[in-house]
Structure 1
Amino acid sequence: MSLVSLDATITLAISVRDRHVSAAWYSAMLGFELIHHIDDAGWSEMQTKTPGVTLGLGEQLEPSPGNTVPVFGIGDIEVARQALEGAGVRFDGATETIEGMVSTATFYDPDGNALMLAQDLTGQV
């Protein structure tokens, strides 16, 4: 039994220089479909060919190639975070929320690999 109950989604987040150019490339080369560009957040998402798996494109001036962060969907990020922190899992700062969109929290495995939890807020009032 695990400490937290993940949902059936995962986003693989990567750093890119230009989300719009990258989205066009992933569409043309791999057939991924654009879900949305969120320009205020510097974020784009694409649906991969695998159900429940999306590719997140985070815009950065100097992206770090090879630095993919798995983002696991979660129903209640605060409950999950409390459970993981209670078990000694290290988090990177506070949970970040974009109102009406998403709450995210980055944490680390025992080897220092970054992972993220994300609670979808788009369906909440």
Structure 2
Amino acid sequence: MSLISLDNTINIALSVKDRHVSAAWYEKMLGFKTIYHADDAGWSELQTNTQGVTIGLGEHTKPVPGNCVPVFGIADLDSARQKLEQAKVKFDGETDVIEGMVKTATFYDPDGNAMMLAQDLTNGAA
């Protein structure tokens, strides 16, 4: 049994120079569908052809190729983070919250690979 319980969603987060251009590329080349552009947050999200798997595009002035971060959906991020921290899992700073949208926390596996937990706040969850 695992320490925490993830939901059935995975977002693969990528850094890009222009989210709108990249979203159009993913739509044309791979048939993905843009779910939304959150311009204030510098974030866009696309539905892949696999249920429960989305691509997130974070806008950066100098993206580094190969900087893929898997983002795992979770119902209660605070509880999961507490359990992982008690198990000595390293986190990158505090939990980030975009009110009414998402709560995220970046953590690392034993080899230093970044991963993220994300709690959806769009349905009134806290």
Residue 3 (structure 1) aligns with: 3
**Superposition RMSD in Å:** 0.6
Runs (4+) of structure 1 moved beyond 3 Å?
none
Task: Report the AA paired with residue 60 of structure 2.
Answer: Q
Residue 67 (structure 1) aligns with: 67
For 1:17 and 1:96, the matched residues in 2 are separated by 22
Alignment TM-score, normalising by the size of structure 2: 0.98
For 2:124 and 2:89, the matched residues in 1 are separated by 28
Helix, strand or coil: the match of 2:4? coil
In the alignment, does 2:48 pair up with 1:45? no
For 2:75 and 2:3, the matched residues in 1 are separated by 13
- Segments of structure 2 that go 5 or more residues without pairing to the other structure are none
Alignment TM-score, normalising by the size of structure 1: 0.99
For 2:99 and 2:10, the matched residues in 1 are separated by 20
Residue 103 (structure 2) aligns with: 103
Matches within 5 A, 1:76-115: 76-115=76-115
Per-residue deviation, 1:89: 0.1
The number of residue pairs the alignment matches comes to: 125
- Segments of structure 1 that go 5 or more residues without pairing to the other structure are none
Task: Report the AA paired with residue 10 of structure 2.
Answer: I
Superposed CA deviations along residues 49-83 of structure 1, whole A, max 9, x for unmatched, are 00000000000000010110000000000000000
For 1:25 and 1:85, the matched residues in 2 are separated by 38
More strand by share: 1
